[in-house]
Structure 1
């Protein structure tokens, strides 16, 4: 078949198909005496597999998988897919940790009007003041300073962030991974508005997982085509 025949089936331009071949995503095509590309069912299967892999794995991984398949390195393709699945599992774990941390948070209450000092908050959380100072350096909490004494003062939002940090630390999360999660809570204006975002996040992960299943099916079909074509 011609490039335009392959392109039309998937709503692509002929240039896109040629680019995929040049990038190694499609096997190299034979040429007519006049230099025109000639594609076969094997090329059509490779394109179907690549387009099916895209939604679940993204362009870089899908491209690398197909390049590995086309050079006969199936084990390398499987390794790349395994890494992508491992990343999805890690993303799910992070989502569950954030959901759990938010659910376990008590309503934000400060024992004193205007906030609490570091020793009081450390006592509430069962940690040392030094730990709170470390969390501050990592961006997990942002206490203000009392203008008269220079002491750190933690308001309601700081208490909430510290409690969330404590929950995630108990779950084994390192500080560098906790900081962006807490920033999401701040940006959302608190845990309650973040619940909708977490629901959307969960939906995206589920959609990605299902897309990976569709990609696996298309890739398996293409691998079968290659085996039959190469005897």
Structure 2
């Protein structure tokens, strides 16, 4: 709104677009974890050869120090490359990293994630993680609706404020 009030509509629209893009990324991450759990405990799809930490971090959407932290907390157990000692993440370990990343994005504490992973491994059932996925999807749905309402309110405000909309009725979304 600060951008709108100083007449910087482009910045305001860019912020709105960035928010919607973040929701899209979160939906894709949820789908990735759901797909990873679909075949539990079968070996998930993924790279045929294990990935080193930088590649694994990129695949999961985190930085390498985050994977090291999760390993230090017992959430991940990558194997070590003989001779170099580099961490290697196979398909199953990448699936686990995706699950940890999803739960962290849902603000779950590391201890709680450890409990979920233990249950997942001991029972062989992804029910706990699927329950968390469903909760995250509901929260994402609510955030999407909130942003849609906010976008509509901003449009109404700009229309009433007059002169702020660059060219009313132009563009691909105009009606």
TM category, shorter: 0.5 to 0.7
Partner of 1:186: 114
- The alignment partner of 1:72 has SS state of coil
Q: How many pairs align?
A: 123
Partner of 1:91: 26
- Which runs of no fewer than 5 residues in structure 1 stay unpaired? 1-65, 109-124, 144-160, 169-174
The reply to whether residue 71 of structure 1 matches residue 6 of structure 2 is: yes
Partner of 2:40: 105
The reply to whether residue 165 of structure 1 matches residue 93 of structure 2 is: yes
Out of 201, 208, 215, the position equivalent to 2:150 is: 215
Please list every run of at least 4 consecutive aligned residues from structure 1 whose deviation after the TM superposition is greater than 6 angstroms.
none
Greater Rg by CA: 1
1:166 Cα deviation after fit: 4.1
Paired residues of 2:23 and 2:140 also in contact (CA < 8 A): yes
- The alignment partner of 2:148 has SS state of helix
- The alignment partner of 1:102 has SS state of helix
- Which runs of no fewer than 5 residues in structure 2 stay unpaired? 57-66, 79-88, 104-109, 121-125, 165-175
Paired residues of 1:95 and 1:202 also in contact (CA < 8 A): yes
1:193 Cα deviation after fit: 1.1
1:107 Cα deviation after fit: 5.8
Paired residues of 2:33 and 2:99 also in contact (CA < 8 A): no
The reply to whether residue 199 of structure 1 matches residue 127 of structure 2 is: no
Partner of 2:84: none
User: Which residues in structure 2 correspond to 1:10-159 (within 5 Å)?
Assistant: 66-106=1-41, 126-127=48-49, 139=71, 141-142=76-77
Mapped partners of 1:72, 1:96: distance in 2:
38
Mapped partners of 1:101, 1:185: distance in 2:
17
